[in-house]
Amino acid sequence: MSFRDLGDLLEHETVTASRLAELLGTTRAGVGKTLAKLERRGLITRTPSPSDRRAAVIAMTPSGCSVIDELFPRELAAHGELLAGLGRDRVLRALERLAAVMEERLER
């Protein structure tokens, strides 16, 4: 999931930390630590979920959206630099392997 995907998700959907951890394929504890940092920086808000008092709904702040908009082009440029030296065939093989790994995770 790219910075842009994460920003779009948080900007347009109701997401909890548990759901975010599931989407990112990581632990709730790891997501919780990261969310706490982002909240301290004013990039996200966490509000109690109306449907589950134990959960919090995560949303992007306007500052968070601005950061996403600034970082996304840098992320794309970094990906381009990483892939530029590999050649088309190696990139396609790597993407095929990545897709297979992602499919395996979804089946769990």
| Percentage of the chain modeled with pLDDT above 90 | 15
Please report the domains of the chain, with CATH numbers, ordered by start residue: 3-107 (1.10.10.10)
pLDDT at site 63: 92
Q: Work out the average pLDDT over 8-14.
A: 73
User: Is this model's pTM higher than 0.75 or not?
Assistant: no
Three-state SS for 26-62 is CCHHHHHHHHHHHHHCCCEEEEECCCCCCCEEEEECH
pLDDT digits (tens, 9 = 90+) for 17-26: 888 888 888 8
Determine the pLDDT at residue 36.
93
Q: What is the mean pLDDT of the chain?
A: 85
